[in-house]
Amino acid sequence: MYLYETHVHSLTGSACGQCTPQEIVKAYKQAGYAGLILTDHFIKGNTSVPRELDWETRMNMYYDAYLKAKEEGDKLDFDVFFGLEHHYGKGKEILIYGIDLDFLLGHPELNTARIEEYADLVHEYGGILVHAHPHRMRDYIVPDIAPRYDVCDGIEVYNASDTDEINELAVQDAIKLNKLMTSGGDVHRVIDEPKLGRAGVGFERRLKSGKDIVNALKNGEGQIMFHGEMRKIQ
């Protein structure tokens, strides 16, 4: 079984991140993972990239976290794929997989695009959108705003930062709406971090690229991890 983390933040790309991309890769390799998708907060969220810069500079600075992680991963025979976490409003966030720097550079309208337009651009590029922690309750999240499942391909049904009750609501949503399911640690630090090793998606084969992960999730190839135990994706 090849296990992949699908939701993790670095200090290079996320203002709330506490570890370097290299430290993250080393920790997940040591924990037995085959790879990860780096999903730093994007420009409308808690990003560490200065907002006053021009678009090309911002995108290259944002993508640098992935490049550093990928370089470290190549040294360790560890897969690193690019993703991002997009804040679409009122504390609600969506994970995006299957895109790359060319996509970001080619779409400066992402800075102002409505979520429907955002989703269309991602889908046209062959990517997918997965709603992150849809029922999370925090001070910065408006509780009466429903998750925008209509633009999403999947739902993060297990987030290691949320309670079992909150995660179960996401599971039921995914079953009801027939959405693909993922599991993510939502890890912001890797030193003395109990969440590391509790979440991820496992596959019977090693994945080759971000597009490969997209196709594998769509095809239902994987199993999701809950509290360190694997379950078959429905």
Asked whether residue 228 is domain-assigned, the answer is no
Q: Which of 60-64, 185-189, 221-225, 230-234 has the highest mean pLDDT?
A: 60-64
The per-residue pLDDT for range 35-71, each reduced to its tens digit, is 999 999 999 999 999 999 999 999 999 999 999 999 9
pTM for this prediction: 0.95
Q: What is the DSSP secondary structure assignment for residue 191, as one 8-state letter?
A: T
Pairwise CA distance, residues 162 & 14, whole Å: 19
For residues 68 and 232, the model is more confident at 68
pLDDT at position 9 over 80: yes
Q: What is the DSSP secondary structure assignment for residue 38, as one 8-state letter?
A: E
- Give the neighbor-by-neighbor strand order of the sheet with 79-89: 180-184, 154-159, 128-131, 92-97, 79-89, 35-38, 2-5, 200-203, 223-226, 229-232
pLDDT at position 138 over 90: no
| Model pLDDT, residue 193 | 82
pLDDT at position 142 over 80: no
CB-based burial label for 90 (10 Å; 0-12, 13-18, 19+): exposed
The per-residue pLDDT for range 76-106, each reduced to its tens digit, is 999 999 999 999 888 889 999 999 999 999 9
Asked whether residue 101 is domain-assigned, the answer is yes
Asked whether residue 216 is domain-assigned, the answer is no
**In one letter, which amino acid is 137?**
M
Asked whether residue 51 is domain-assigned, the answer is yes
pLDDT at position 233 over 70: no
Asked whether residue 229 is domain-assigned, the answer is no
**Domain CATH code at residue 93:** 3.20.20.140
Pairing verdict, β 128-131 and 92-97: antiparallel
* pLDDT (mean) for 112-128: 97
Asked whether residue 208 is domain-assigned, the answer is no
Pairwise CA distance, residues 228 & 101, whole Å: 32
The per-residue pLDDT for range 157-204, each reduced to its tens digit, is 999 989 999 999 999 999 999 999 999 999 999 987 888 999 999 999
* pLDDT (mean) for 192-217: 94
Least confident span in 115-124, 135-144, 157-166? 135-144
Q: Write out the residue range of the structural domain in which residue 53 sits.
A: 2-203
| Model pLDDT, residue 28 | 97
Least confident span in 54-63, 79-88, 117-126, 139-148? 139-148
- Cα dihedral 85/91/92/95 (nearest 10): 10
Confidence tier at 234 by pLDDT (50, 70, 90) = low
Averaged pLDDT of the chain: 94
The DSSP H or E segment spanning 201 is strand 200-203
Asked whether residue 222 is domain-assigned, the answer is no
Asked whether residue 234 is domain-assigned, the answer is no
Cβ(34)–Cβ(79) below 8 Å = yes
pLDDT at position 135 over 80: yes
Number of domains in the chain: 1
